[in-house]
Amino acid sequence: MGEIREEGFEAAYHICNITKEEEVVSLMDFAVKTYGALNIVIANAGIIRDGLMIQTDEEGKVKKIMSLSQFQSVLDVNLTGCFLTLREGAVRMVNNKWEGLLLIVSSINKTGQVGQLNYSSTKASVALWPKILSGEFHMKGIHHIRIVGIAPGYVATPILKNMNQKALDTILKDVHIQRLIEPEEITGLMKVAAENDALDATTLEITGGVLYGNRTIAK
Ligand SMILES: NC(=O)c1ccc[n+]([C@@H]2O[C@H](COP(=O)([O-])OP(=O)(O)OC[C@H]3O[C@@H](n4cnc5c(N)ncnc54)[C@H](O)[C@@H]3O)[C@@H](O)[C@H]2O)c1
């Protein structure tokens, strides 16, 4: 936030666990109180807890399973948290007729990544939401809020530290631009989504040209 202010822009923060309904309500109220309106809501928070559903030993017997909490925790943040964020943003934008954008962060791994049963399930799901929600809004005559998803490839952010680094190196060999995407390249696309009213009801991929099939990226 300091960096944003140093650049001469305005910024404020409110700590919130997006899996908790009352905290998301309080975050949205804070935003409205601070800035007087809400025009862009980005459901960006996400986690990974990679692993295989069942892991076998040399004898072919199951030695490890994905625990319920390993599965559920990713759904809680990436799916329920995204739902609460968008819902609470939309309630305020609709009631006040504020024009704007709901932006959803999916992932290239919406196509089904081995080792990410939990994560890929959430990202495949939210990739559909722009279509579902814009249809819902259209049906109800709400035309002043667009919904756009973005599905990034591998971006140089801390989330990648939780991935198997050998698998990540292998994956990068099959990325056409031969490097991780920079966070600024993602925010650049978010800016385009905010500024271009023709973008709606769609999930855009920004992957640097990921060319691989599904690999195992579990620890
Ligand atoms: N980095 C990548 O390669 C990549 C690729 C595709 C999609 N994504 C998606 O981009 C989004 C941003 O990820 P990132 O790469 O910046 O990762 P990151 O780990 O750097 O940031 C994730 C953020 O989510 C926050 N968060 C986690 N759980 C939360 C909760 N319960 N309540 C509130 N905040 C919570 C964390 O505090 C962190 O600031 C995620 O949805 C992620 O799935 C990332």
Measure 46 CA to ligand 1 centroid, in angstroms: 4
Full-model pTM: 0.95
* Residue 18 in contact with ligand 1 by CB distance below 6 A: yes
What's the order of all strands across the beta sheet hosting 202-206?
Answer: 40-43, 100-105, 145-152, 202-206
- List, for residues 18-38, the tens digit of each pLDDT value: 999 999 999 999 999 999 999
pLDDT value at residue 219:
60
Average pLDDT, the chain: 95
Q: Ligand 1 centroid vs 135 CA: distance in angstroms? A: 27
Q: What is the pLDDT at residue 65? A: 97
Give all strands (DSSP E) within 21-166, no chain letters.
40-43, 54-56, 62-65, 100-105, 145-152
Tokens representing 42?
């980005």
> Which regions of the chain does DSSP assign to beta strands (E)?
40-43, 54-56, 62-65, 100-105, 145-152, 202-206
* In the chain, where the domains are located: 2-206
pLDDT at res. 103: 98
161: pLDDT strictly greater than 80: no
Q: Is the CB of 19 under 6 A from ligand 1?
A: yes
Q: How far is the CA of 37 from the centre of ligand 1 (A)?
A: 25
Whole-number Å distance, alpha carbon 45 to ligand 1 midpoint, is 4
Which residue puts its alpha carbon closest to atom 36 of ligand 1? 45
pLDDT surpassing 80 at residue 215: no
Asked whether residue 201 carries a pLDDT value surpassing 70, the answer given is yes
Q: What is the average per-residue pLDDT within 171-179?
A: 90
CA distance 144 to 176: 37
Which residue lies with its CA nearest to atom 7 of ligand 1?
A: 107
> Is any atom of ligand 1 closer than 6 Å to the C-beta of 119?
no
Q: For 51-109, write each residue's pLDDT tens digit.
A: 999 999 999 999 999 999 999 999 999 999 999 999 999 999 999 999 999 999 999 99
pLDDT digits 0-9 by tens, 7-20? 999 999 999 999 99
The whole-number pLDDT of residue 34 equals 97
CATH no. of 2-206: 3.40.50.720
Contact 120, 75 (CB under 8 A): no
Give nearest CA residue, ligand 1 atom 26: 45
Assess whether the C-beta atom of 81 lies below 6 angstroms from ligand 1: yes
Name the β-bridge partners of 206: 152
Does residue 218 carry a pLDDT above 80?
no
Task: Give pLDDT tens digits for 129-154.
Answer: 999 999 999 999 999 999 999 999 99
What average pLDDT does range 184-204 have in this prediction?
98
Mean pLDDT of 45-49: 97
Q: Judge if the beta carbon of residue 46 lies within 6 A of ligand 1.
A: yes
